[in-house]
A and B are shown apart, each in its own frame.
Chain A
Amino acid sequence: MAILVYAESAADGKYKKAAFEAVSYAKSIAAQSGDTVTAVAINASESSDSLYKYGADKVLKVSNDALKNFSPNAYAKVLSDLKDGDTIVLPATNDASSFAPLLALKTDATLVTNLISAPENVSPFTAERRAFSGKGIEKVEVSEGAKVLTVLQNAFGLKENPSSGTEETANVSVSEADSKVKVVKVEQASTDKIDLKEAEIVVSGGRGLKGPENWGMIEELASLLGAATASSKPVADIGWRPHSEHVGQTGKAIAPKLYIAIGISGAIQHLAGVNSSKTIVVINSDAEAPFFKAADYGIVGDAFEIVPKLIEEVKKFKGA
């Protein structure tokens, strides 16, 4: 049987990193269960080779204008129609998380969301998921039957596992009516910005930066490092930065390899959204700031002095 994986692509037709992580995760189940891995790509234009690299044995290509805009109902229908086994793996992106419950109902499957590590056992399926905003880890077990799984971004990670895959075109019958919702307007800013949830490195600023006019150095540092930018909640609330950059318990939860927090005190609600980062660097003028207790590296000092120096050092490093 095949484990079905949703290989999510971005607006530009390229696969998201989350798609490769989901394929990697499916492959880790397949290695234990003896199943194969089939990736489903909806309106993607990138070559399937990148999916084979992470272990997809087959790629089912779906092209359909009725799926051009996302609709939870229609996407759930497509995956449900293509299923041919008892496991479906999805990335825990916004879109896939939205249709996961619908898909679980359609396929009479048990839903397990936000998985963070390879299953300890595949029968019964036993694995760990994120809970309590990262303050806890919950181990769950699906006693029997079909399951729909979502895999947290930047948690299980990418595992190369090349297969000699094949590609097929899949025909699905979906119509506008399956959507129930109609997208009437799309406002897309630049698509070349690095997605915060997918970013390997994140440079984040807090109220210590004093005002939106001071974000130039944050953006410069981020762009040198190939990083996304983020902010603490008050910074988004006062409108210095867009809401989409707010990280923490009530904003986005992220888990990059490197999180650099500049002028952020490290309140518990902030930490909840970033404490899964592999390495944390804190730059803060107050040696007593709670964030230092949750950091791997720290510099006590004025951000307006340190960040420009850091930019110079990164430039030297990159140039070397």
Chain B
Amino acid sequence: MKILVCISSVPDTTAKINFTGDGKAFDKNGVQFVINPHDEFSLTRAVQLQETQGAKVTVLTVGDATVEPVMRKALAIGADDAIRVNADARDGLFVATQIAKVAKEGGYDLVLTGRESIDYNGGEVPGFVAGILDYAFVNGCVGLNVDGNAVEAVREIDGGKETISAQFPVVIAGQKGLVDETELRIPNMRGIMAARTKPLNVVEAEQTSSKLNVVGYTKPAERGNVTLIDKDNVGELVRLLHEEAKVI
């Protein structure tokens, strides 16, 4: 079984988000980058399948050289090797086109991604990859088992869960729940040492055209000052919510 885990490198969840002076781009200054949290669940599941079922796990990022430290972290967590497609991750379709090419040429059985990247929040890449390759697709996956060529995946639905079966090759977009929070791994010293010598291959990107342009970024409006209500006057809150905020 060959698994391709697609990892996006995103600003740390505690990062303050700022845009460049002209409002045209995200300002990376002083921002720490981490593995997209949703992707960590997929990566961990892949490493578990490597340990229990002998899967070979490759991590893939479309990005410039600055994403390599984040990729090394994925290697330290246990991936066997890594591929970086050398390009600026411009938009969802562009990224998916690169991933699809690697997935097809490398003959991967399972393509694991996260449900969405927490930076641009597209939630587009996994569906695009499945569409380009005409593979089966399960989004928002919270449980995954593999038996031979058969995949059993669980996904959250309104007020419940749905179990889905499919055959290789499959694209699975994971999220929290795919593995337990406590199963997520922090790289240990041995892993970090091993990661230094694991292969990280760089390949060039396939060019595509796009009709989607970013005009610019703004920040959401700030909230006004909080109105504090005395704890012995809770009725006042109800009155304000009704008469002032008009939400009840």
Whether A182 lies near B160 (C-beta < 8 A) is no
Contact of A269 among B13, B19, B215, B240 (CB under 8 A): B13
Whether A126 touches B136, Cβ cut-off 8 Å, given contacts A106-B131, A296-B226, is no
Contact with A along B206-237 (1 / 0, CB 8 A): 00001111111111100110111111001101
In the assembled complex, the Cα of A140 lies from the Cα of B214 at a distance in Å of 4
In the assembled complex, the Cα of A114 lies from the Cα of B132 at a distance in Å of 22
Whether B119 lies near A187 (C-beta < 8 A) is no
Contact of B211 among A134, A145, A250, A282 (CB under 8 A): A145
Whether A133 lies near B248 (C-beta < 8 A) is no
Residues of B within 8 A of A249 (CB): 13, 37, 118
Contact with A along B125-160 (1 / 0, CB 8 A): 111101110011111101000000000100011111
Whether A142 touches B211, Cβ cut-off 8 Å, given contacts A73-B137, A111-B92, A297-B241, is yes
Whether A296 lies near B120 (C-beta < 8 A) is no
Q: Counting CB contacts under 8 A, is A172 at the interface?
A: no
Whether A131 lies near B217 (C-beta < 8 A) is yes
Find the A residue at minimum CB distance from B122.
A113
Residues of B within 8 A of A269 (CB): 13-14
Which size bracket describes the interface of B in this complex? 35 or more
Choose the segment among B82-90, B104-112, B162-170 that binds chain A (4+ C-beta atoms closer than 8 Å).
Answer: B162-170
Whether A143 lies near B213 (C-beta < 8 A) is yes
Shortest CB-to-CB span from B208 to chain A, Å, is 12
Residues of A within 8 A of B196 (CB): none
Whether A310 lies near B237 (C-beta < 8 A) is yes
In the assembled complex, the Cα of A92 lies from the Cα of B231 at a distance in Å of 39
Q: Counting CB contacts under 8 A, is B28 at the interface?
A: no
Residues of B within 8 A of A225 (CB): 248
Contact with A along B176-215 (1 / 0, CB 8 A): 1100010000000000000000000000000000111111
Residues of B within 8 A of A139 (CB): 214-218
Whether A100 lies near B124 (C-beta < 8 A) is yes
Residues of B within 8 A of A251 (CB): 176
In the assembled complex, the Cα of A244 lies from the Cα of B155 at a distance in Å of 11
Q: Counting CB contacts under 8 A, is B65 at the interface?
A: no
Whether B247 lies near A258 (C-beta < 8 A) is yes
Whether B127 lies near A102 (C-beta < 8 A) is yes
In the assembled complex, the Cα of A227 lies from the Cα of B201 at a distance in Å of 51
Find the A residue at minimum CB distance from B230.
A299
Whether B139 lies near A201 (C-beta < 8 A) is no
Whether B137 lies near A187 (C-beta < 8 A) is no
Whether B163 lies near A246 (C-beta < 8 A) is no
Residues of B within 8 A of A243 (CB): 142, 156, 176-177
Whether A298 lies near B229 (C-beta < 8 A) is yes
Q: Counting CB contacts under 8 A, is B63 at the interface?
A: no
Whether B139 lies near A279 (C-beta < 8 A) is no
Residues of A within 8 A of B96 (CB): 101
Find the A residue at minimum CB distance from B235.
A313
Shortest CB-to-CB span from B151 to chain A, Å, is 9
Whether A189 touches B13, Cβ cut-off 8 Å, given contacts A132-B119, A133-B121, A243-B142, is no
In the assembled complex, the Cα of A94 lies from the Cα of B173 at a distance in Å of 12
Q: Counting CB contacts under 8 A, is A237 at the interface?
A: yes
In the assembled complex, the Cα of A97 lies from the Cα of B115 at a distance in Å of 10
Residues of B within 8 A of A257 (CB): 247
Whether B228 lies near A300 (C-beta < 8 A) is yes
Interface hits, A218-268 → B, CB 8 Å:
225, 237, 243-244, 246, 249-251, 257-258, 268
Whether B226 lies near A293 (C-beta < 8 A) is yes
Residues of A within 8 A of B162 (CB): 69-70, 183, 185-187
Shortest CB-to-CB span from B11 to chain A, Å, is 8
Whether B137 lies near A300 (C-beta < 8 A) is no
Shortest CB-to-CB span from B7 to chain A, Å, is 15
Contact of B157 among A180, A186, A258 (CB under 8 A): A186
Whether A250 lies near B118 (C-beta < 8 A) is yes
Whether A136 touches B163, Cβ cut-off 8 Å, given contacts A94-B157, A296-B226, is no
In the assembled complex, the Cα of A45 lies from the Cα of B120 at a distance in Å of 36
The 9 A-B residue pairs with the shortest CB-CB distance in the complex, in nearest-first order: A101-B127, A301-B231, A98-B139, A188-B160, A180-B136, A185-B163, A135-B17, A105-B131, A139-B215
Extra A-B contacts (11), CB below 8 Å, given A11-B158, A298-B229? A99-B127, A101-B124, A104-B93, A113-B121, A141-B213, A186-B162, A188-B159, A201-B247, A279-B245, A297-B237, A313-B237
Q: B-side interface residues toward A, CB under 8 Å?
A: 11, 13-14, 16-17, 19, 26, 37-38, 92-93, 96, 118-128, 130-132, 135-140, 142, 152, 156-166, 176-177, 181, 210-220, 223-224, 226-231, 234-235, 237-238, 240-242, 245, 247-248
Selected A-B contacts with CB under 8 Å, 8 pairs = A101-B92, A105-B131, A114-B122, A186-B160, A292-B228, A297-B228, A298-B229, A299-B230
